[in-house]
Structure formats: structure tokens, C-alpha cells
């Protein structure tokens, strides 16, 4: 009920969100195909960045497993795409990622921060190497063909996943669950002492975020005609979301989306003509953000509006 | 039979020597300076390419390049810590936040160094032939350059260990590794010592790169593989333990040599399995109680 009351008091933001959603949902009917494809890319990176921020933002654990969960979805499509209907494959991609995250989380989320980061990064390479070995030595293939799906379907599925993810992230942030997660990030020992089951909570949110990554991987794979383990488990997909979320800022839900939009557009502009300059720029921006923009673009916006926001808080 | 065993064991030790040197470098950077330097492998790549350039363009012997690479990369590492990481350290509220942010910063460095190298040297795989005559050990044959590599790795490792154990500066580094705050209170200039450690770590990577270029093919994207191995070895040997890293490196070389003998193509996967098991069972490493 709190949520409803809040929405009624400040109707502008939800109304704006619905307006944007309607505009986006209708865009294949008025926008050129190029824009639809670009938007799909932005959705993909937004899903990655928001999922990453949903887990790593409040808890402070840096996960580099994004590419692993996304890759599981991609590979689910490569293996099952011609056997099962598309919605089933997307669901399976999400669920397998989710199970993998539950397993990995239960095993490793007891590890302290930095070990967890290394472990999750190792996970991508481990799965990739095992799959490569299995494909070459056992199934005798080096690559698989993806089932083709038209661009508008991919677009709508991506939009659907992103919307569900945003709703989930929003509700979690406002719930006791979200509060407990933030207390873990602030001080894990204290959180455990006031009766929060820290490992179970971390594992749950890790698994929820992995579901969305796996599902988006499965649908995104249909746009690539050829899939092999190296393409599916590209470590780049673990770093991009981190940079996007940090560049955008994690204080607000729209921060990672802002970051995703900026970087997807930059990638679109630069990667075909100047791939190495793009990656160079990527590295430089990452370092600059760490040094000078600790709260990202959102932090910058909030700093700029600071006077107003403090007075607002005093009223309530 | 004996030739086969020797092949696996000596081959493993030859690879392990390189691993050990790389891991000691990372151990200094993470164990003391608390920076989990994911761009470690990029310094290896820099060392390899500088050596390759000096040899192919000017005919300078790679053995001399080891010294040049060590010095140049040391300065780069020292300056990086003084400008980048010490600032991040000042900005971070806690050690955990610093570790996270410095990890991300080193990812940034990875992209910067790697792509600058591609723009400078091109993306091709390169190599040269130096001391490539065969040496025979009771039936197991190895190229002489690989033996030289192991010799230098052991020499550099021992020299550094003596430096840590016998000199005043070495004592300051060991004190900083144990407890930063206490060491600072005892009059150790922490910022200076940490930057030195980071520089030494980078220098080891640079020298290892020189050695690697003598017997293996090199490319601008070779770094990541070595970084991952270094991380595994550092965890294997216990964070911050220099002898642990050295022994861990030799051990991992043996494991890799054995696995690739039984099932080629799975050695990297075997490293990861070993690494993940270690993290779960004994995250403090083999040398730490």
C-alpha cells in the first residue's frame, strides 16, 4: 500500500515512465529499422547494467559473472533453438542461469569481496574452456547456427525483459529485502548480528539478476547467425555493464540505463571503424570515472540539484 | 618411460619458473599494495614486445633487454601507483572499497595498455629465434632458451628474496605487508613503499615478458592468460607470501604439464578447477596458517 500512496502523491515519474514505455513499444511502427536495432542493443546493455547494479550496487560485491550468465542463455539457444519453441528456450536460458547462480552463490558468496570477484571471473573462462573442449572432442562441432528471428520480435522480447527487470528492481529496492541488502553493503557483520541471513540474501538476489541475464542472452543470440563458446562467453560482457553502471551512477534505477545508452551509442559510432580507439577510450573513461565521478552521472545531476532536494527532505 | 617422466617434470618446471616470477610480481602488488592488478599481464606483454623490437630492429640481445625492460616497467609502475592508485586509496572509505575500485581501475589500464600496443605494434602474432638449439636430458629434449628462462627466473626470484630478507627497505616492505597502519606509525613512508612494491611487481612482469618472448610466440592480447595464471598462483601460495608464490608457480607449472600430457586442451580448465577448489577449501593458500 505504501507504494500506491507514494505513486498517488508524486504522479509525474510513473506517468513519464509509462509514456516512455508506450513510445518505445510503438517505435517499430514509426522508427527506421536501424533505430530499432540500436534500441535493442541499448536494451541488452541496460539489462546487463541494471542486473549488475541490482546485485553489486547494494551489496558491494563486484560480480564479473555477467558474461557467464548471459553466455549460458546464448548457448541454451544454440543447443535448443531448433528443437524447442522460442519462449521455452528463453525461459530455459533464464532458469539455467538462475540455477548456476544459486550454485555459485551458495558456494562462493561466503568469500570476502575480492575473492568473489576473481572467482566469478574465473567462472566465465572455466565454462568457456569446458564447452570448447566438449564441442571439439565430444560433439565434434566448432560452432552452431542460431535460429533466425526477425528484428521486431527480438526488440519486443528485449523490451519485455527490461521492463520486468526494472519493475523487479524497483520493488526490491523499496522492500525489506532491499533494505537488508543495503545493510549487507554497509556492514556485513552488523547485518548478520541483527538476524539477517546474509548468505541466503546475497545468493537470492544474485540468482534473480542471473535469470534476466540468461533470458536476454537467449533472445540476443538469435541475432547472431553463428555461435561458438568464444562468442557466447565474451569477457567483454562482464566489464561493459560494470563501466556502464558506474558511469551512469547506481544511486538511482535509471543511472545504469543512462550509462548503457551512452556507451552503446559510442560503440555503434566507433567500433566498426576504430575498434582499438574505442577500447582505448573505454579504458580511459573507466579510470576517469573512478577518479573523478565516484557517483556517476546521476551523482553529478544530484549534486547540481542539491539545494532543492535537501529542502524537499526537510518537509516530509 | 624415464624420458616421458622427465619430459613432464622438466617441462613443468620450465613453465613453472615463468609462472613463479609472474606470481611473485602480482603477490607484491596485491599482498602489499592491495591492488589486484588485472593489467599485470599487460606489463608482461610490454616487456615481451620491447624485447622483440630491440632484437629485430637493433639486434640487441634479449638477455640485455631484460634489464632495460625491468627498469622501464618499474618506472611506469611506480608512477602509476603514485598518480592513480594512491589517489583512489585516498578517495576510498575502507580497504574493501579500495580493493574493488583499484580492481576496476586496473581493468581500465588493461584496455588502455593493450589497445595502445595493438595500435603501435599491430595485432599479429610475433616471434623470433634466439638460443633455439636443443639440449638433451636422458631422452627428453628442450630448447636452450627455455632453460635460460628458468635460470633467470630463479636468479631474479632469489635476488629479490635476498633483498626482502636482508635490506632495510626489504624490512619496510615486509612490515607494510603485515600491517599498513602499524608500519606507518613505526616511521615507514607508506605511500613510497607501496609505490615501490607496485613498481617492483610491474618490473617482474616486464622481465618475465622478456624471458617469455625468447621461447614463445607473443601477441598484444597475450596478457590475460598470464594474469589469470598469476592470480591462481597467488591464491595457491597464499596472498602476500613471496616464497608461497614462488613454490605455487612451480607447482602449477607441473600440474599444467601433467594435464596437457594426459588431455591436451584442458590445461587451462584444469587451472580453473584447481583454483576454484582452492578458493572454496583453503582461501588462505598453502603457505598461510
Q: How confident is residue B289, by pLDDT bands cut at 50, 70 and 90?
A: very low
Q: How confident is residue B195, by pLDDT bands cut at 50, 70 and 90?
A: very high
CA pair distance A77, A84, nearest whole angstrom: 9
Q: Is B139 part of a structural domain of the chain? A: no
φ and ψ at residue A254, rounded to 5 degrees = -80, -10
Same domain, yes or no, for A189 and A305? yes
Same domain, yes or no, for A284 and A311? yes
Least confident stretch, A261-270, B65-74, B237-246:
B237-246
Same domain, yes or no, for A13 and A40? no
Q: Is B132 part of a structural domain of the chain? A: no
Give B288's contacts in chain A (Cβ within 8 Å).
Answer: none
Q: Is B1 part of a structural domain of the chain? A: no
Q: Is the confidence at residue B222, as pLDDT, over 80? A: yes
State whether B87 and A286 contact (CB < 8 Å).
no
Q: Is B134 part of a structural domain of the chain? A: no
In sign, the C-alpha dihedral spanning A199, A202, A67, B38 is negative
- Quote the number of domains for chain A: 2
CA pair distance B198, B36, nearest whole angstrom: 10
CA distances from A154 to A3, A147, A175 (A): 32, 12, 32
List the one residue out of B20, B18, B23, B15 whose CA is nearest residue B231: B23
Same domain, yes or no, for A5 and A127? no
Same domain, yes or no, for A23 and A39? no
State whether A283 and B268 contact (CB < 8 Å).
no
Give A122's contacts in chain B (Cβ within 8 Å).
Answer: 228, 272, 275-276
Write down the pLDDT at residue B133: 77
Write down the pLDDT at residue A312: 42
Write down the pLDDT at residue A113: 66
Each residue's pLDDT tens digit, A91-107 = 999 999 999 999 988 88
Each residue's pLDDT tens digit, B120-158 = 998 888 888 777 777 777 777 777 888 888 888 889 988
Write down the pLDDT at residue B76: 94
Q: How confident is residue A8, by pLDDT bands cut at 50, 70 and 90?
A: low
**Which of B94, B105, B115 should be substituted to probe chain A, the one whose Cβ sees the most A Cβ atoms within 10 Å?**
B115
Stretch (H or E) spanning A124: helix A113-134
Each residue's pLDDT tens digit, A187-224 = 888 888 988 888 899 999 999 999 999 999 999 999 88
Same domain, yes or no, for A262 and A188? yes
Same domain, yes or no, for A227 and A116? yes
Same domain, yes or no, for A134 and A202? yes
Could you tell me the residue range of the domain that residue B197 belongs to? 10-120+148-281
Model-level pTM?
0.81
Could you tell me the residue range of the domain that residue A281 belongs to? 33-315
Q: Is B214 part of a structural domain of the chain? A: yes
Stretch (H or E) spanning B198: helix B190-215
Same domain, yes or no, for A16 and A163? no
State whether B272 and A111 contact (CB < 8 Å).
no
Q: How confident is residue A114, by pLDDT bands cut at 50, 70 and 90?
A: confident
Each residue's pLDDT tens digit, A263-309 = 898 888 887 788 888 888 888 988 888 888 877 788 888 778 765 44
Average per-residue pLDDT for chain A: 85
Q: Is the confidence at residue A28, as pLDDT, over 60? A: yes
Write down the pLDDT at residue A26: 81
Give A123's contacts in chain B (Cβ within 8 Å).
Answer: 276
Shortest CA gap A293–chain B (Å): 11
Same domain, yes or no, for A212 and A173? yes
ipTM over cut 0.85: no
Each residue's pLDDT tens digit, B24-44 = 999 889 888 888 888 999 999
Q: How confident is residue A164, by pLDDT bands cut at 50, 70 and 90?
A: very high
Write down the pLDDT at residue A7: 59
Q: Is the confidence at residue B1, as pLDDT, over 90? A: no
Q: Is B141 part of a structural domain of the chain? A: no
**Which of A61, A291, A299 should be substituted to probe chain B, the one whose Cβ sees the most B Cβ atoms within 10 Å?**
A291
Shortest CA gap B88–chain A (Å): 6
Q: Is B129 part of a structural domain of the chain? A: no
Q: Is the confidence at residue A166, as pLDDT, over 90? A: yes
Write down the pLDDT at residue A82: 86
B151–chain A Cβ distance below 8 A for any pair: no
State whether B100 and A114 contact (CB < 8 Å).
yes
State whether A280 and B112 contact (CB < 8 Å).
yes
Q: Is the confidence at residue A56, as pLDDT, over 70? A: yes
Same domain, yes or no, for A223 and A235? yes
CA distances from A245 to A39, A228, A262 (A): 18, 28, 11
- Quote the number of domains for chain B: 1
**Which of B40, B82, B269, B281 should be substituted to probe chain A, the one whose Cβ sees the most A Cβ atoms within 10 Å?**
B269
Same domain, yes or no, for A88 and A132? yes
CATH code at B189?
Answer: 1.10.3470
CA distances from B137 to A140, A218, B4, B148, B151 (A): 38, 53, 11, 15, 16
Q: Which of residues 109-148 of B touch A (CB under 8 A)?
A: 109-112, 114-116, 118-119
Burial environment of residue B179 by CB neighbours within 10 A (0 to 12, 13 to 18, 19 or more): exposed
Amino acid at each position: 500500500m505504501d507504494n500506491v500512496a507514494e505513486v498517488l502523491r508524486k504522479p509525474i515519474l510513473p506517468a513519464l515512465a509509462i509514456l516512455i514505455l508506450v513510445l518505445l513499444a510503438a517505435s517499430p511502427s514509426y522508427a527506421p529499422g536501424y533505430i530499432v536495432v540500436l534500441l535493442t542493443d541499448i536494451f541488452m546493455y541496460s539489462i546487463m547494467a541494471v542486473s549488475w547494479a541490482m546485485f553489486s550496487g547494494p551489496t558491494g560485491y563486484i560480480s564479473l559473472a555477467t558474461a557467464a550468465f548471459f553466455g549460458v542463455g546464448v548457448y541454451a539457444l544454440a543447443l535448443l533453438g531448433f528443437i524447442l519453441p522460442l519462449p521455452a528456450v528463453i525461459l530455459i536460458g533464464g532458469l539455467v542461469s538462475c540455477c548456476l547462480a544459486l550454485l555459485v552463490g551458495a558456494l562462493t558468496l561466503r568469500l570476502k569481496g575480492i575473492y568473489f570477484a576473481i572467482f566469478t571471473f574465473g567462472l566465465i573462462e572455466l565454462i568457456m574452456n569446458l564447452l570448447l573442449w566438449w564441442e571439439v572432442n565430444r560433439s565434434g562441432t566448432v560452432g552452431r547456427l542460431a535460429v533466425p528471428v526477425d528484428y521486431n520480435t527480438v526488440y519486443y522480447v528485449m523490451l519485455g525483459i527490461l521492463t520486468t527487470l526494472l519493475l523487479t528492481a524497483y520493488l526490491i529496492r523499496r522492500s525489506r529485502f532491499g533494505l537488508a541488502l543495503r545493510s549487507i553493503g554497509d556492514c556485513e557483520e552488523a547485518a548478520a548480528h541483527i538476524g539477517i541471513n546474509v548468505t541466503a540474501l546475497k545468493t537470492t538476489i544474485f540468482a534473480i539478476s542471473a535469470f534476466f541475464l540468461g533470458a536476454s542472452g537467449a533472445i540476443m543470440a538469435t541475432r547472431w547467425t553463428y555461435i561458438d563458446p568464444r562468442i557466447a562467453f565474451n569477457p567483454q560482457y562482464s566489464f561493459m555493464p560494470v563501466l556502464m553502471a558506474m558511469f551512469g551512477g547506481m544511486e538511482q534505477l535509471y543511472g545504469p540505463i543512462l550509462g548503457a545508452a551512452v556507451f552503446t551509442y559510442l560503440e555503434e559510432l566507433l567500433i566498426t571503424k576504430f575498434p582499438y580507439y574505442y577500447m582505448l577510450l573505454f579504458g580511459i573513461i573507466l579510470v576517469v570515472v573512478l577518479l573523478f565521478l565516484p557517483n556517476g552521472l546521476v551523482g553529478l545531476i544530484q549534486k547540481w540539484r542539491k539545494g532543492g532536494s535537501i529542502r524537499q527532505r526537510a518537509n516530509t | 618411460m624415464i624420458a616421458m617422466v622427465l619430459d613432464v617434470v622438466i617441462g613443468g618446471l620450465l613453465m613453472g619458473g615463468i609462472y613463479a616470477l609472474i606470481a611473485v610480481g602480482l603477490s607484491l602488488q596485491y599482498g602489499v599494495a592491495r591492488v589486484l592488478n588485472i593489467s599485470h599481464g599487460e606489463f608482461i606483454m610490454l616487456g615481451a614486445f620491447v624485447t622483440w623490437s630491440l632484437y629485430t630492429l637493433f639486434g640487441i640481445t634479449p638477455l640485455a633487454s631484460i634489464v632495460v625492460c625491468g627498469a622501464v616497467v618499474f618506472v611506469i609502475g611506480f608512477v602509476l601507483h603514485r598518480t592513480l592508485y594512491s589517489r583512489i586509496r585516498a578517495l576510498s572509505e575502507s580497504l574493501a572499497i579500495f580493493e574493488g575500485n583499484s580492481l576496476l581501475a586496473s581493468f581500465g589500464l588493461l584496455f588502455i595498455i593493450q589497445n595502445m600496443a595493438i595500435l603501435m605494434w599491430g595485432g599479429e602474432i610475433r616471434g623470433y629465434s634466439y638460443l633455439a638449439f636443443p639440449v638433451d636430458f636422458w631422452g627428453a629434449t628442450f630448447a636452450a632458451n627455455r632453460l635460460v628462462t628458468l635460470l633467470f627466473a630463479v636468479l631474479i626470484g632469489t635476488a629479490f628474496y635476498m633483498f626482502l630478507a636482508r635490506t632495510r627497505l626489504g624490512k619496510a616492505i615486509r612490515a607494510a605487508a603485515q600491517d599498513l597502519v602499524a608500519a606507518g606509525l613505526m616511521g615507514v613512508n607508506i605511500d613510497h613503499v607501496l609505490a615501490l612494491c607496485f613498481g617492483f611487481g610491474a618490473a617482474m612482469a616486464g622481465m618475465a615478458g622478456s624471458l617469455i618472448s625468447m621461447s614463445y610466440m607473443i601477441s598484444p592480447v597475450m596478457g590475460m592468460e598470464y594474469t589469470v595464471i598469476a592470480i591462481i598462483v597467488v591464491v595457491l601460495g597464499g596472498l602476500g607470501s613471496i616464497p608461497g608464490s614462488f613454490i605455487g608457480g612451480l607447482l602449477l607449472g607441473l600440474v599444467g604439464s601433467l594435464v596437457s600430457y594426459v588431455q591436451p586442451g584442458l590445461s587451462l580448465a584444469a587451472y580453473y578447477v584447481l583454483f576454484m577448489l582452492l578458493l572454496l577449501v583453503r582461501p588462505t593458500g598453502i603457505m598461510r596458517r
